[in-house]
Amino acid sequence: MGVLDRDHPEPLYRRLMADLLEQISSGQFQPGQKLPSIRQLERIYGVSSIVVRRALGELQRQGQILSVPGRGTFVAQRTVDKRLHALSGFTEDMRRQGITASSIVLRAELVPAQGGLAETLSVPTGTEVALLERVRLGDAVPMCVQTSHLIHSLFPGILRHDFRTTSLYEILREEYRVAFGWARYRIRAKVAGPREAELLRLPASAALLWIDGCSYTTSQQVFEYGDTAYRGDRYEVLSSTVNLPEDLHVQD
C-alpha cells in the first residue's frame, strides 16, 4: 500500500483496484473488515477522489466490497455456492468449501401431515411426519433457516439423533441406506420477516434466497420435503445442464 507510480501505462484506478484486491486475497483485509475511507485512500495512494471512487465502484460491482451508507465500505463476506445439479446436504456443501458446519435445533418433533404437505409427500392426511427445523451455521455464522419433513415410517426413530452436530443426509445415507436420486426445487427471492432476520442476524427486510422442494430416491420415491431461507448476501446458486428421464420435469 502506497503512492502509485504515475508513469505506469495502466490506469490509476486499475492499479488501485489491483492493490486492494491483493490485500483482500492475502488476508490483510478480512471479510467484514472496514476499508480506509475515500479521503484516507486519497492520501495513502496519492490519487484523486475520482480515482478512488471509480476503483471502489468497480470492486463493488465485482462483489469484492460492500458500501453501507453512513458506515463506510467493507470487504464482502465470502459467498457459498449451492449446487442444484447435485443432491447434497448443507454439511456436505460447507465441507466442500472448507467451512465447518453446525446447527441450532429449533424444532424436532413428530407431526401429522396435513393438506398440501400430505399431498406433496404422497401420503394420506394424518400420516406421521418427522419435522426438523434448524438454523444452519457455517464457521459459527448463521447461514440459513432450514426445515425438513420426512415420512417417519421410512425412518423410524430418526429424531433421536443430535442434529446440532450431525448431518441429516449422512444419517439417511449411512443408517437408513437411502439411495439419493434427484430433487425438484423451486427458487424465489424473499424479504426476511422478523423471525428470520433475528435468527440469521440480519437487518429487517434483508434479502433472502428461498428454496423449497422434494428429494427423491433412485427409485423415484419422495423421502423429504424441505424449505430453506438462505441469506442473500452469503449464497449463490449454481446449476448445470443435466439429462433427466423423459417423464421428469423441473417444477415451474
Query: What domains can you pick out in the chain, each with its CATH number?
Result: 12-75 (1.10.10.10), 80-238 (3.40.1410.10)
In this prediction, residue 245 carries a pLDDT of 44
Helices assigned H by DSSP within the chain: 12-25, 38-45, 49-61, 90-96, 115-121, 168-174, 194-200
In this prediction, residue 96 carries a pLDDT of 78
- CA-CA distance, 87 to 178, in Å (whole number)? 12
Return the amino acid letter for 182: W
Tell me the CA distances in angstroms from 115 to 16, 120, 121, 127, one per residue in order.
Answer: 58, 9, 10, 11
Q: 70: phi > 0 → left, psi -120 to 50 → alpha, else beta; which?
A: left
- Chain centroid to Cα 200, Å, comes to 11
For the chain, 252 residues long, the average pLDDT of each consecutive 10-residue run is 73 89 84 88 91 89 77 75 60 80 95 93 95 92 92 95 92 93 86 92 86 90 92 67 42 38
- Number of Cβ within a 10 Å radius of residue 88: 16
- CA-CA distance, 229 to 66, in Å (whole number)? 22
- CA-CA distance, 48 to 41, in Å (whole number)? 9
In this prediction, residue 82 carries a pLDDT of 53
Q: Is 178 helix (H, G, I), strand (E, B) or coil?
A: coil
Dmax (CA) for the chain in angstroms is 76
Tell me the CA distances in angstroms from 140 to 94, 99, 133, one per residue in order.
Answer: 12, 9, 17
In this prediction, residue 244 carries a pLDDT of 41
In this prediction, residue 239 carries a pLDDT of 52
In this prediction, residue 158 carries a pLDDT of 96
The pTM (predicted TM-score) of the whole model is 0.64
Gyration radius from the chain CA atoms = 23
